[in-house]
Structure 1
Amino acid sequence: MITVEHLTKRYGEYTAVDDVSFACKPGRVTGFLGPNGAGKSTTMRIIAGLTPATAGTATIAGVPYRHIPNPATQVGVLLDASAQHAGRTGAEILRLSAMTMGLDRSRIDDVLALVSLTPEEAGRRVRNYSLGMRQRLGIANALLGNPQILMLDEPVNGLDPAGIHWMRGLLRNYADRGGTVLLSSHLLHEIEIIADDLIVIGQGRIVAQGTKEELLAGSGTRVKAVDDAALGQALAAARIVAHPAAGGGFHAEAEPAVVGHVALDARVHLVELRPGDNTGLEAMFLQLTQQTQREQPVNQGAFR
């Protein structure tokens, strides 16, 4: 189990991680999401003992990473697939890791088979690997010590569709056997397919966390009126937060019965009143992180 409590990391005046707390449980895949620069990689580096925290704690089974004896046999980490010695072969990299961990060399053949790297590919120098092959080698290295916890940052980068499908099955099987997986990725569709729990971070702070079902469940109310301006005024007067919806009307942060009563009292004629939709992980992600996105909607007038 990974436990992060009130974690903060500052670089001078810049706060990269700001009072972050969450837990990753055994038997579950936890998806860690956020815009570029949100603090995902910094948080994972702190958990892996590579970056010191300014405040707070990050522990694995109750112990900081750097205090775990032979940690690679407890925690498999892949934070940057390109950070591998380009002049060594894949097999040499795994042999060095196995020697460091005190493992039998037969384990190397096991993980190479697991990640579908052939003996011929394992004999190539890493400088000649594609990004997808480097990802497979990084996963093999993370799994070499047969750990109970996996921490992976963007593990499907460079994988083709077949490789992504393979990775999905590997992580699902790992969690189903009781392992703990913390997975960071910008491929929201893949996270939506495989994750059990979600953590969304923006500008260094957690903006949402919970099970996938909880966060993706339809919420609030989709409401539309003959006179949307009057409806918006009535909702504002009732202190109900409402966001303009595509096609007119609003998505109101209240139950349909409450919204209906507000419209009735204001004598606003409704043409639509229903529970909010489950619009998927991408819509949820964009809504939760809209104030922390680096990329903002394009002003089409700029191209005219």
Structure 2
Amino acid sequence: MIEVEGLTRKYGAFTAVDDVSFVAEPGRVTGFLGPNGAGKTTTMRVMVGLTPATHGRVTIGGHLYSDIPNPGLHVGVLLDASAQHAGRTGREILTLGATTMGLPKSRVDEMLALVSLSDTEAKRRLRNYSLGMKQRLGIAHALLGDPSVLILDEPANGLDPAGIRWMRGLLKGYAERGGTVLLSSHLLHEVEIIADEMILIGRGKIVAQGSKESLLADADHSSTLVTSLDNDLLGKALQHKGYGVAAAGTGLRVEAAPVDVGRVAADNTIVLTDLRSADGGLEDLFLALTSETQRDVLPEGAQA
């Protein structure tokens, strides 16, 4: 379990993370979502002791990361897939990690096979790896110690569609076996597919958190696009029910859920030729909640 309590990180007058609190539970994939520069990477760096908190704290399994003996056996981390010696081979990088953690060298072969890096690729130097290969190697390194917690920052970067699907299956299986997964991304769709819980952050503040279903249920911007054989009559019937109505193309935009619009049409025997949600679901909610953070922000990782 990861517990973030009142976490704040300031750089002079700039507040990168502002009183952030959340919990990532065992057996679940928690998606940490926000625009570039929203504070995701800074939060994760504080988690693993790379950046000190200004206020608040983060514990993993009830302990500060710095207090965990041989942390690689408990917490797997991937923050920057390129943060290894460019002149070392993939096998050398994993071997050094295994030696540091006191693991047998056979574990290196297991991890290379798990992430589908061939013997030839494992002998290649990191500087000659594609971004996707670096990501696979980084995931292998994070899993090397068979940890109970995974902290991954943008792990899908550079992966092809097959690689992204492989990663989804890997992380879902890890969580199903009781592991805790915290996965950051600015790519909503990818996280939406895999995450059990989502935390939305903008300008260093949590703007929403919960499951996809609960986030959408809490949204108050449900609207519908509808076209009928008698738009004037439908519009009047909807307004009579108290729904906001506006012209939209050849039809109407109604501030109500599609089922409510359909019910009004049925009650008034109005034939509909088109009925659909006007909202983009979670994507629209995400953009609405983080709209002020989509511009004038520091790049992620650049002191933010």
TM-score (structure 2 length as normaliser): 0.81
Alignment-mate amino acid for residue 65 of structure 1 = Y
Q: Which runs of 5+ in 1 are unaligned?
A: 227-237, 261-270, 297-304
1:211-265 deviation digits (Å, cap 9, x = unpaired): 1221134744537997xxxxxxxxxxx9x9x999976646479xx7xxx9xxxxx
Q: What is the CA–CA distance in structure 1 between the aligned matches of 2:296 and 2:59, rounded to whole Å?
A: 33
User: What corresponds to 2:139 in structure 1?
Assistant: 139
Q: Which runs of 5+ in 2 are unaligned?
A: 233-241, 265-271, 298-304
User: What corresponds to 1:12 in structure 2?
Assistant: 12
User: What corresponds to 1:230 in structure 2?
Assistant: none
User: What corresponds to 2:154 in structure 1?
Assistant: 154
Counting only pairs closer than 5 Å after superposition, residues 48-59 of structure 1 correspond to structure 2 as 48-59=48-59
User: What corresponds to 2:267 in structure 1?
Assistant: none
What secondary structure, in the 3-state scheme, does the structure 2 residue paired with 1:43 have? helix
Q: What is the CA–CA distance in structure 1 between the aligned matches of 2:94 and 2:245, rounded to whole Å?
A: 53
Shift of 1:83: 1.1
Q: What is the CA–CA distance in structure 2 between the aligned matches of 1:49 and 1:251, rounded to whole Å?
A: 47
Q: What is the CA–CA distance in structure 1 between the aligned matches of 2:124 and 2:277, rounded to whole Å?
A: 53
In 2 relative to 1, CA 209–72 (structure 1 residues): closer, same or farther, beyond 3 Å? same
Q: What is the CA–CA distance in structure 2 between the aligned matches of 1:32 and 1:245, rounded to whole Å?
A: 37
Shift of 1:288: 1.0
Q: Does residue 1:293 correspond to 2:291, yes or no?
A: no
Q: Does residue 1:96 correspond to 2:121, yes or no?
A: no
Counting only pairs closer than 5 Å after superposition, residues 181-260 of structure 1 correspond to structure 2 as 181-217=181-217, 219-220=219-220, 221-222=222-223, 249=253, 251=255
In 2 relative to 1, CA 61–167 (structure 1 residues): closer, same or farther, beyond 3 Å? same
User: What corresponds to 1:268 in structure 2?
Assistant: none
TM-score (structure 1 length as normaliser): 0.81
User: What corresponds to 1:267 in structure 2?
Assistant: none
User: What corresponds to 2:81 in structure 1?
Assistant: 81
Q: What is the CA–CA distance in structure 2 between the aligned matches of 1:137 and 1:126, rounded to whole Å?
A: 9
What secondary structure, in the 3-state scheme, does the structure 2 residue paired with 1:182 have? strand
User: What corresponds to 1:229 in structure 2?
Assistant: none
Q: What is the CA–CA distance in structure 1 between the aligned matches of 2:247 and 2:13, rounded to whole Å?
A: 38
What secondary structure, in the 3-state scheme, does the structure 1 residue paired with 2:291 have? coil
In 2 relative to 1, CA 281–73 (structure 1 residues): closer, same or farther, beyond 3 Å? same
Contact 1:32–1:198 (CA under 8 A) maintained in structure 2: yes
Alignment-mate amino acid for residue 284 of structure 1 = L
User: What corresponds to 2:171 in structure 1?
Assistant: 171
Contact 1:76–1:149 (CA under 8 A) maintained in structure 2: yes
Q: What is the CA–CA distance in structure 2 between the aligned matches of 1:198 and 1:21, rounded to whole Å?
A: 13
Shift of 1:284: 1.6
In 2 relative to 1, CA 250–21 (structure 1 residues): closer, same or farther, beyond 3 Å? farther
What secondary structure, in the 3-state scheme, does the structure 2 residue paired with 1:291 have? helix
Contact 1:219–1:276 (CA under 8 A) maintained in structure 2: no
Q: What is the CA–CA distance in structure 2 between the aligned matches of 1:185 and 1:26, rounded to whole Å?
A: 20
Shift of 1:194: 0.3
In 2 relative to 1, CA 70–183 (structure 1 residues): closer, same or farther, beyond 3 Å? same
1:63-122 deviation digits (Å, cap 9, x = unpaired): 110110000110000001111111000000011111110111111111111101111111
Contact 1:219–1:277 (CA under 8 A) maintained in structure 2: no
Shift of 1:170: 0.4
Contact 2:223–2:279 (CA under 8 A) maintained in structure 1: no
Shift of 1:26: 0.4
Q: What is the CA–CA distance in structure 1 between the aligned matches of 2:247 and 2:191, rounded to whole Å?
A: 26
Contact 1:222–1:250 (CA under 8 A) maintained in structure 2: yes
Q: What is the CA–CA distance in structure 1 between the aligned matches of 2:49 and 2:245, rounded to whole Å?
A: 42
1:269-294 deviation digits (Å, cap 9, x = unpaired): xx9xx997773332121111112211
Give the total of aligned pairs: 274
Which structure would you say has the larger RCO, counting Cα contacts within 8 Å and 6 or more residues apart? 2
User: What corresponds to 2:236 in structure 1?
Assistant: none
Q: What is the CA–CA distance in structure 1 between the aligned matches of 2:107 and 2:100, rounded to whole Å?
A: 13
